């Protein structure tokens, strides 16, 4: 699968302030710039919130979903190129990742996850103002998040499905732990393993009003365009207003 590595640095053990400084310099090329770090435990992977999960859309697509199970899934390449201030995001799939184990701290500026289907929903009560920003006019509620995710996963024959509430930070700089035998001395797509799939649920804080709850499902190849599938099995886990 495609991964794009722009930079790789390797150090020994480092204290937090040094990690913040190096990651900040990788982001902005400015000495003294401290990155806003995110750790794996900060992202609630696989946790269903108590608030409602709403899929905003145009009414015709809501009707199609409840009539036939038709549903569109995006991907990071699509969002990178989409010219809409609410939907498009050129940073999707791109991060500064920091992998640590005793005696080693690796930093990589990398992009990946291009083999994941993505479905974005809204966490909370339907917000007419937010709906309007997307040029939508309708929505439906996902009542059973796991049931919905499992149904789509089966339709896609996906081997890896994840969901979580997105979190929002100034920087996409993530710190994770790796095993002592990790191959730090070679530059490879394995550097994506500096952080778990939770990295795909971190978004820039300028999008925080979206209150996104995200689903991802892996595919056997990289994806460049959205796909529309029919999954009538998913309907039972949803409810329209």
Which whole-number Å values give the CA distances from 168 to 8, 37, 204, 238, in the listed order?
Answer: 25, 11, 5, 27
pLDDT at 83: 53
Strands (E), 150-237: 161-165, 167-169, 173-177, 202-204, 212-218, 227-230
- Cβ burial of 233 (10 Å; 0-12, 13-18, 19+) is middle
pTM assigned to the model = 0.92
Distance between CA atoms of residues 38 and 174, nearest Å: 5
Quick one: average pLDDT of 217-241? 95
Distance between CA atoms of residues 82 and 224, nearest Å: 12
pLDDT at 102: 96
Determine the 3-state secondary structure of 108 from DSSP. Answer: strand
Percentage of residues in the chain with pLDDT exceeding 70? Answer: 95
Determine the 3-state secondary structure of 171 from DSSP. Answer: coil
Sequence-distant (6+) residues with CB within 8 A of 89 are 79, 80, 82, 203, 204, 207
Mean pLDDT of all residues belonging to the chain = 91
Distance between CA atoms of residues 232 and 227, nearest Å: 16
Quick one: average pLDDT of 130-134? 70
**Pairwise pLDDT comparison (29 vs 163), residue with the higher score:** 163
pLDDT digits (tens, 9 = 90+) for 75-111: 888 777 655 454 546 778 899 999 999 999 999 999 9
pLDDT at 81: 67
Of 91, 94, 108, which Cα lies nearest the Cα of 175?
A: 108
pLDDT at 206: 86
Of 113, 130, 97, 98, which Cα lies nearest the Cα of 212?
A: 130
The token duo for 148 is 């919905």
Q: Which residue has the tokens 């820039």?
A: 204
Determine the 3-state secondary structure of 172 from DSSP. Answer: coil
Confidence check: pLDDT of 148 > 60: yes
pLDDT at 100: 97
Distance between CA atoms of residues 132 and 229, nearest Å: 25
Q: Which residue has the tokens 């939770």?
A: 198
Q: End-to-end CA distance of the chain, in Å?
A: 40
pLDDT at 88: 47
pLDDT band at 231 (very low <50, low <70, confident <90, very high): very high
pLDDT digits (tens, 9 = 90+) for 17-74: 999 999 999 998 877 889 999 999 999 999 999 999 999 999 999 999 999 999 999 9
């Amino acid at each position: 699968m495609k991964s794009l590595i722009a930079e790789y640095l390797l150090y020994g053990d480092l204290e937090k302030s040094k990690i913040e400084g190096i990651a900040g310099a990788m982001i902005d090329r400015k000495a003294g710039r401290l990155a806003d770090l995110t750790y794996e435990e900060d992202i609630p992977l696989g946790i269903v919130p108590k608030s409602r999960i709403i899929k905003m859309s145009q009414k015709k697509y809501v009707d199609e979903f409840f009539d036939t199970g038709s549903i569109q899934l995006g991907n990071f390449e699509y969002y990178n190129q989409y010219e809409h201030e609410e939907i498009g995001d050129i940073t999707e799939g791109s991060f500064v990742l920091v992998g640590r184990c005793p005696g080693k701290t690796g930093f990589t500026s990398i992009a990946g996850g291009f083999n994941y289907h993505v479905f974005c929903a809204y966490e909370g009560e339907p917000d007419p103002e937010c709906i309007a920003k997307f040029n939508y006019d309708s929505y439906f509620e996902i009542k059973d998040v796991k049931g919905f995710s499992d149904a789509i996963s089966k339709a896609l024959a996906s081997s890896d499905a994840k969901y979580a509430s997105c979190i929002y930070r100034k920087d996409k700089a993530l710190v994770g732990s790796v095993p002592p035998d990790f191959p730090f001395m070679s530059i490879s797509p394995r550097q994506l393993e500096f952080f778990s799939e939770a990295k795909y649920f971190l978004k820039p804080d300028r999008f925080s009003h979206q209150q996104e709850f995200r689903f991802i499902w892996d595919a056997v190849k990289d994806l460049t365009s959205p796909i529309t599938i029919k999954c009538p099995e998913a309907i039972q886990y949803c409810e329209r207003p």
